[in-house]
Amino acid sequence: MSCLTTGLCFVLTVLPSQVTAIDGDTLRVQLDASHRAYVRLFGIDTEERNEPNGPAAKAHLQALVNRGDSVVCHPIGKMSYQRQISRCYIHVGEMKFELNSLMVKDGFALDCARYSKGMYRVLEPDDSRKRLLAKPYCDK
């Protein structure tokens, strides 16, 4: 998945070795030797790298990516700070798992209802809202 400067977005399928977690909700995808795409996981929010749980969220996202045989990101058609907002999946054999959901379910991210309309909230572990820093803009 990537969006060109024309606004044309497409689904991107890559190997895990081409994907680096920048933080807990952002991926950098190496398309070739000189081209990269940045992906913001749709509907979730994690702590920043300089916040208490940020480094663990980044490490967890990278570990999830590394478990896949491939990574597939489906753009939702919007950009945020030059990152394509997407729902991303890892494929493991015949199964696929949404990274956005796994980050919430595993307790590293919170639902960002402003964008997700609450679709990930039911996946949050009971203590997540007490343990993780919530961004005020997500509850609007």
In this structure, is residue 34 part of a structural domain?
A: yes
In this structure, is residue 135 part of a structural domain?
A: no
In this structure, is residue 66 part of a structural domain?
A: yes
What does the pLDDT read at residue 15?
A: 93
User: Within a 13 Å sphere around the CA of 42, how many CA atoms are in the beta-carbon half?
Assistant: 20
What does the pLDDT read at residue 5?
A: 47
In this structure, is residue 132 part of a structural domain?
A: no
In this structure, is residue 138 part of a structural domain?
A: no
Task: Quote the CA–CA distance of 129 and 132 in Å, as a whole number.
Answer: 6
Q: Structurally, how many domains does the chain consist of?
A: 1
In this structure, is residue 17 part of a structural domain?
A: yes
Task: Quote the CA–CA distance of 99 and 96 in Å, as a whole number.
Answer: 9
- Structural domain containing residue 44: 2-126
Q: What is the CATH number of the domain that holds 54?
A: 2.40.50.90
Give the pTM. 0.91
In this structure, is residue 140 part of a structural domain?
A: no
* pLDDT of the chain, 140 residues: tens digit per residue: 345 444 546 788 999 999 999 999 999 999 889 989 899 999 999 999 999 999 999 999 999 999 999 999 999 877 777 788 999 999 999 999 999 999 999 999 999 999 999 999 999 999 999 999 998 989 86
In this structure, is residue 136 part of a structural domain?
A: no
